[in-house]
A and B are shown apart, each in its own frame.
Chain A
Amino acid sequence: MFAYLNLIGDEIHNFIDGMMIAATYLASVELGFATTLMVIFHEIPQEIGDFGVLIYGGFSKRKALAYNFVSALTAVIGAIVTYFLAETIHFAPLLVPFAAGGFIYIVATDLIPELHKKNTAGASATQLLALLLGAGLIAYLKMIVGG
């Protein structure tokens, strides 16, 4: 059942998102806030897509919403585990580059192939504009908070 496979994949993904948020907050509050924004931005299209997959897989809207929410809760577990583990093992500094790698991986393997599915001039222009807007927003945030 691909709907259940999608849920399991989503759980792992969300768990790691939670770890990244906790680890970056432990490095600095500004970095944690920026990471949270980045996670939210890529979660929005991701969750819309996941919801569609569950509906397509035969779930009712209510069931899809409930299952998706429960799978997203693994982010909370990931964050709590990371926070308390970081008190005993000092692995938070290691998790920051890990988060950077994770984000580059998501863009390179998930998002950009998705953008390549549509390559008319208009679509490419929209994609490029949206991409620059996303990068620009993070650069701007970095400038004003200095994270």
Chain B
Amino acid sequence: MSELVAILASVITVTAIALVGIIFVGLKESVLKRVLMALIGFASGSLLGGAFLSLLPEAMAEIGERHSTMSLWAS
């Protein structure tokens, strides 16, 4: 049940992110573009990092495939 609470708290936080758009309305187009570029770069890195360093190793460990090079990272 505590899992459900954590899940709900997380998705509600994610949902609230939908409201951040309004903060950037006043910004100049050129400034906004530069901010967005850095944010997109940051997001790319975290998604790639997450996929290759957390999710895939976890999936590998789950399957029991411990001989892969990925298992270096698997907990």
Contact B43 A100 (CB under 8 A): no
Contact A83 B54 (CB under 8 A): no
Residues of B within 8 A of A127 (CB): 37-38, 40-41
Interface membership of B17, Cβ < 8 A:
yes
What class of interface size applies to chain A in its complex with B? Answer: 35 or more
* B8 in complex: contacting residue of A17, A64, A71, A76, CB < 8 Å: A76
Contact B20 A48 (CB under 8 A): yes
Report Cα–Cα, A37/B49, bound state, in Å.
12
How many A-B pairs with Cβ below 8 Å?
A: 229
Q: Count the B residues whose beta carbon is within 8 Å of the partner chain — how many?
A: 49
Chain B contact residues: over half helix, strand or loop, or mixed?
helix
Contact B75 A40 (CB under 8 A): no
Interface membership of B72, Cβ < 8 A:
no
Q: Which of A47-100 contact B (CB under 8 A)?
A: 47-52, 55, 61, 64-65, 68-69, 71-73, 75-76, 78-80, 83, 93, 96-97, 99-100
Report Cα–Cα, A52/B46, bound state, in Å.
24
Contact A139 B11 (CB under 8 A): no
Interface membership of A9, Cβ < 8 A:
no
Can you give 20 A-B contacts (C-beta < 8 A)?
A18-B14, A22-B7, A25-B3, A25-B7, A32-B7, A34-B50, A36-B13, A42-B43, A48-B21, A51-B24, A69-B15, A75-B11, A79-B10, A97-B56, A107-B43, A107-B48, A114-B37, A130-B44, A134-B43, A138-B49
B residues near A (Cβ < 8 Å) are 3-4, 6-8, 10-15, 17-22, 24-25, 32-34, 36-56, 58-59, 62-63, 73, 75
A residues near B (Cβ < 8 Å) are 14, 17-18, 21-22, 24-29, 31-45, 47-52, 55, 61, 64-65, 68-69, 71-73, 75-76, 78-80, 83, 93, 96-97, 99-101, 103-104, 106-107, 111-112, 114-115, 118, 123, 126-139, 142, 146-147
